[in-house]
Amino acid sequence: MAGGEPHACATGRMNSISTYVRLDVHKATVAVAVAEGGRGSEVRQLGVFENRPEVLIKLAARLSNKNCRISFCYEASPCGYGLHRLLTSYGHTASSWRRH
């Protein structure tokens, strides 16, 4: 990817983060943006999905690469805490951010 930093997946290091996913969580929906290829990569809107566990796990599986991890970031709110438990129970990295 031109302009992106090299990431560990390209060099064969296991368990490195290659995809950053930002989740804007609401009661009924989750808006998803993705930066693939490491920090500094182009960010693109992936879409708005139903806020249901089976939908979000399927999305995470679609974004996953068996050699690299995904880092999810979600808004720290009552709607985000269940999402954190769900994602981390499947082995993904998830952290919150606070909107000002």
pLDDT tens column, 41-50: 889 999 999 9
33: how many CB neighbours lie within 10 A of its CB? Answer: 15
- What pLDDT is recorded for position 13? 47
Q: Where are the domains of the chain?
A: 16-97
CATH architecture classification, 16-97 = 2-Layer Sandwich (3.30)
Per-residue confidence (pLDDT) for residue 95, from 0 to 100: 86
Burial of residue 44 (CB within 10 Å: 0-12, 13-18, 19+) is: exposed
Range list of β-strands (E), 27-100:
29-36, 43-50, 68-75, 93-97
pTM: 0.74
pLDDT in tens, the chain (100 residues): 333 333 444 444 445 667 889 999 988 999 999 988 766 788 999 999 999 999 999 998 888 876 677 889 987 778 788 888 999 998 888 888 765 5
Q: What radius of gyration, in Å, describes the C-alpha atoms of the chain?
A: 13
